[in-house]
Amino acid sequence: MTKGNAIAVLLLGILVILFPQLTTDNYILTIAIFIGINALVAIGLTILMGYAGQISLGQAGFYGIGAYISAILSLYLGLPVLLSMIIAIAIASITAVVLAIPSLRLKGHYLAVATLGFGEIIHIILHEWGPGGPSGFGDIPPLSIFGYILHSTLEYFYLIWLCIIVIMIFSLNLINSMTGKALRAIHDSEIASLTLGINITKLKIKVFVLSAVYAALAGALYAHYVTFLSPSGFSLFYSVLVLMMVVIGGISNIWGGIAGALIITILPEVLRGFKEFDILVYGMILTLSLLFMRKGIVPLIIETYKRWISK
Amino acid sequence: MILDIKNVSKNFGGIKALKNINFSVKKGSIHALIGPNGAGKTTLMNIISGIEKMDSGDIYFKGFSIKDKPPYKRAEMGLARTFQNLELFGNLTVLENVIVGMYLKNQRGFLSSGIMLRGINREIVDKSLSILEYIKLSHRQKEIAKNLPVGEQRLLEVGRALATEPELILLDEPAAGLNMRETKNLSQLIQKIRDEKGITILIVEHDMELVMGISDLITVLNFGEVIAEGEPLMIQKNPHVISAYLGED
């Protein structure tokens, strides 16, 4: 990890610890939890798009697999929640491998098309065969870690943001490693990377699996936090929303995933005041920010800061 | 022999780019591949490095057939190359370009990369710096590769290839776009690589002074066929070669 990133992680940690001191409002903590859950999915997609140059339109599928499988295993088979989550994440990653091998062996954006179909298939399966069908099911056991059951919003807030800090450290290390350098190299020249001995297809598959693992983890956390699931939250719309977070946050920097999740999650809440015009304003903000901040917010902030420093 | 090209043929649509090419590269030699434009030299380089597939024939590297091996496996075996149309990692720094060249000998899994706090260790950085010193690009280490002048970009491609610790380097027109002084430095570098590191060189080049000055053996291609092979002095006097370059009379 570079120095700048280490400081940023530290600051994030301090912010997470202090945040509940600033507010005890459960509504705000709940939104912070949803920002965290969305950020997990978005960080994975940022790495996939920014570092492997691939687009996935099916992150909702992995998010759904993580949520549903973990919920079903713990609710109907009585498995411990932690074990259910691990199994759910494992199943999501196996699914990702199966999906990636044929589509990443081809050149071009076949993964985008394959994941689009995959996401829809998962959504239909949840809709038709998931417990409760389209209306969903509840009574999912809350998260428990080695016998300790999490109850309060505050506990979930800490747990989810701890997950994010761990995942950020892992991801930043990865990007700063030889593997990360190789990923950036692939972005610039696939041919040269191949002749240097880099197995491009294998690396791309691994990054895709990583993004699926992050999404499935987020889904499982969501299921045990909300304790109620219905298929509507796992449609193409969610995949596009995550894509939006990544683009607005900035695909070239994984902090963009968190920034994008923050903005996209808060925006509808802030726009409540506009009543029936909220969708209109929402759309306008997104369009304008794409027009004027092509690179995304985080890279823009870093560039502005660097320019300011050098003056 | 480190490289054996056996009956290699390649068609693009109806055009026969390569017809039954046969030649061998001796270990430790500087071997040049020359010929007029469109003779099929770059196609052959791409086939040897695995970027393009041949239609028929076979290629043996260190005695093993590499016909069915993907490019990254050939690199693992000790085959490296540079590109005529520069394929540097443009957005990476000069130093990072060389570091990526060391990937082959220093790759790690995702898990250990994510857990490791140190990232790329000092040893890799030091080795990369010494390669930059070897190709005389140390002063440029922090620059973004795409901002370098063409001459230095070509050198960096050689450095990156060296970082893979190869046994054979394919140089595809390394002197294109270089001025006289740069070309002279390049020819010294190529000889140094062979003499000091014992790396075999197969070079495609149009600069005849360079080719004649450093090559042990020259193979001449014309319209996808080998028309001559021999030492520089013999090639210069060969009537087939002269007519291929100057046109029949």
Q: Is B227 on the interface with A (CB under 8 A)?
A: no
Please tell me which of A69-73, A107-111, A243-247, A296-300 the model is most confident about, judged by mean pLDDT: A69-73
Domain range for B65 is 3-246
Query: A13-22, A246-255, A283-292: lowest mean pLDDT where?
Result: A283-292
Residue A273 is assigned to a structural domain of this protein: no
> What pLDDT shows up at residue B118?
60
Residue-wise DSSP of A161-222: HHHHHHHHHHHHHHHHSHHHHHHHHHHH-HHHHHHTT--HHHHHHHHHHHHHHHHHHHHHHH
- The domain total for chain B is 1
> What pLDDT shows up at residue B119?
67
Would the pLDDT of B194 be above 70?
yes
Residue A244 is assigned to a structural domain of this protein: no
List % helix, strand, coil for chain B (3-state, nearest 5). 45, 25, 35
Two tokens at A108?
């071009």
Residue A246 is assigned to a structural domain of this protein: no
- What proportion of chain A, given as a percentage, has pLDDT over 90? 66
Number of H helices and number of E strands within chain A?
13, 2
From the centroid of its chain, how far is CA A196? 32
Phi then psi dihedrals of residue A250, to 5 deg: 115, 115
Residue A278 is assigned to a structural domain of this protein: no
Average pLDDT over chain A, rounded to an integer:
91
Contact A178 B115 (CB under 8 A): no
Contact B71 A171 (CB under 8 A): no
Closest to A115 in 3D by CA, of A29, A19, A48: A48
Least Cα separation, residue B14 to chain A (angstroms): 25
- What proportion of chain A, given as a percentage, has pLDDT over 70? 99
Contacts of B103 in chain A (CB under 8 A): 178, 181-182, 185, 196-198
Distance, CA of A293 to CA of A287 (rounded, Å): 10
Residue A309 is assigned to a structural domain of this protein: no
> What pLDDT shows up at residue A146?
81
Would the pLDDT of B196 be above 80?
yes
Q: Is B71 on the interface with A (CB under 8 A)?
A: yes
- The domain total for chain A is 1
Two tokens at A240?
């596009």
Residue among A170, A197, A206 minimizing CB distance to B103: A197
Residue A228 is assigned to a structural domain of this protein: yes
The answer, yes or no, to whether ipTM is higher than 0.85 is: yes
Q: What is the CATH number of the domain that holds B99?
A: 3.40.50.300
Q: Is B116 on the interface with A (CB under 8 A)?
A: yes
Q: How many A/B residue pairs have CB atoms within 8 Å? A: 115
Report whether A158 contacts B65 (CB < 8 A): no
Domain range for A78 is 3-235
Residue A106 is assigned to a structural domain of this protein: yes
